[in-house]
Amino acid sequence: MHVIASISQSALTHNLSVVKQLTSGAKVVSMIKANAYGHHLDCIHPLIDGSDRLAVSELSEAEKLRAITQRPILLLSGVYSESELQRAISLDCHIVVHHTSQIAIINNTQQVVNVWLKIDTGMHRLGLSASEYKECLSLFETNPLVEIACVMSHFACADEIDHPMNKTQLKLFKELTTKTNNRSMANSAAILSQAETTFDFVRPGIMLYGASPFNTPNNQLKPVMTLSAPILSIKTLQAGESVGYGATWIADKDTTLAVIGIGYGDGYPRHAKNGTPVLINGILCPLVGRVSMDLICVDISSTKASIGDNAVLWGDEKLRVEVVANNSDTISYELLTGLSNRVSFISAP
């Protein structure tokens, strides 16, 4: 009896088709960094096969991905040395250039290299400034070995639809790329809310995995990961008795408790508040007491359950990961990428 993350292949296919409907004509660069947002590369074949390109953040991820597919790869961090450039070329990656220190490494290449120039339009994390971008462009345009495959930028506030930075970033990006054929700006939030950011390549991440980049769930998307764990014990607490470390939760009436075999050691958030819903036999039941390393306790007074029944922690249409994230002061991205290696991953239809 242990924790299982079941990865729905049909939900992946569905969510990818939602991206394609919303951005018709654009090519899809699926973000599968961080082991496919924690869903495991081995379990996401519909994405690998159905996307135009797959993006990873670092070379070690590109190596793992290349071992299972010949699909085109985009390396988001770019390269930092001649030997990293060699590795990236031998893995047949397109390579992002986001810092001036990477320009000479690329420009000295002995083989053809495809680059994506990343402009910083206001996020101020990775990216070339407007003037650095212009210098880099003129250098690369005269180098027959360097192909500029695309120019990209990234939104800082796309999940806040009315944030003024969205317009400023888009305006600057358009000004700098009027003569550019292949452009890419949109992440999931922009795909879902700003059609004018589609351009030639879109870069969906979280929405492919069925979670919304906004605070509220999006019913157009289907949850991909269902996280479940077994009920290990059931007991009745008398009114006035407490449960768990710190004895922080006290029953105000006689209460039936299910003790479930999952905890922060598996990646269930320790900060989940009392009342965070857990789905047991189709009924949402409240978490009570502190989350331990291996166990949580749930008030099942409102449903019938037996030892061995599976509780769903997230990933059902009735209990989306966003709800658990909101109850734990975090975001779905962190919960999905945070499962530990004690969890078994399986591909489900």
Ligand X SMILES: *Cc1c(COP(=O)(O)O)cnc(C)c1O
Q: Which residues are catalytic?
A: 33, 245
* Segment lying near ligand X (by CB under 6 A), choices 170-178, 201-209, 227-235, 279-287: 201-209
CA distance 87 to 82: 9
Strand segments, DSSP code E, in 157-275 are 183-184, 201-202, 225-237, 242-243, 249-250, 255-260
263 interacts with ligand X by CB under 6 A: no
Number of residues that bind ligand X (CB under 6 A): 12
Could you tell me which stretch among 81-89, 202-210, 215-223, 296-304 binds ligand X (CB under 6 A)? Answer: 202-210
Chain-centre distance for alpha carbon 224? 11
Q: Which of 98, 154, 290, 320 binds ligand X (CB under 6 A)?
A: 154
* Phi/psi of residue 200, nearest 5 degrees: -100, -35
For residue 303, report the phi and psi dihedrals to the nearest 5 degrees. Answer: -145, 170
Q: How far apart are CA 147 and CA 113, in angstroms?
A: 6
Closest approach of ligand X to the CB of residue 188, in Å: 3
The answer to the question of residue 146 lying near ligand X (CB under 6 A) is: no
**Does residue 198 touch ligand X according to CB under 6 A?**
no
Q: Does 206 sit near ligand X (CB under 6 A)?
A: yes
The answer to whether 39 contacts ligand X (rule: CB under 6 A) is no
- Residue at token pair 């530990």: 340
CB-based contacts of 161, cutoff 8 Å, min separation 6: 189, 193, 194
Q: Is residue 205 a contact residue for ligand X (CB under 6 A)?
A: yes
Q: Interface with ligand X by CB under 6 A: which range of 19-27, 62-70, 197-205, 241-249?
A: 197-205
- Please, what is the minimum distance in Å from the beta carbon of residue 189 to ligand X? 6
Instruction: Please tell me whether residue 54 binds ligand X under the rule CB under 6 A.
Output: no
Angle at the Cα of 184 from the Cα atoms of 178 and 189, rounded to 5 degrees: 125
What's the half-sphere exposure (Cβ side, CA atoms, 13 Å) at 204? Answer: 30
204 near ligand X, rule: CB under 6 A: yes
Question: How far does CA 14 lie from the centroid of its chain?
Answer: 16
User: Which one of residues 187, 193, 255, 328 is an interface residue with ligand X (CB under 6 A)?
Assistant: 187
223 makes contact with ligand X (CB under 6 A): no
Q: What is the spatial distance between Cα 118 and Cα 129, in angstroms, rounded to a whole number?
A: 9
Residue carrying structure tokens 């030639």: 200
* Closest CB 116 distance from ligand X, rounded Å: 10
Which residue, 188 or 255, is less far from ligand X as judged by CB?
188
Residues 126, 181 contacting (CB under 8 angstroms): no
Tell me if 192 contacts ligand X by CB under 6 A: no
- Any contact of residue 53 with ligand X (CB under 6 A)? no
Contacts to ligand X by CB under 6 A? 31, 33, 76, 154, 187-189, 203-206, 213
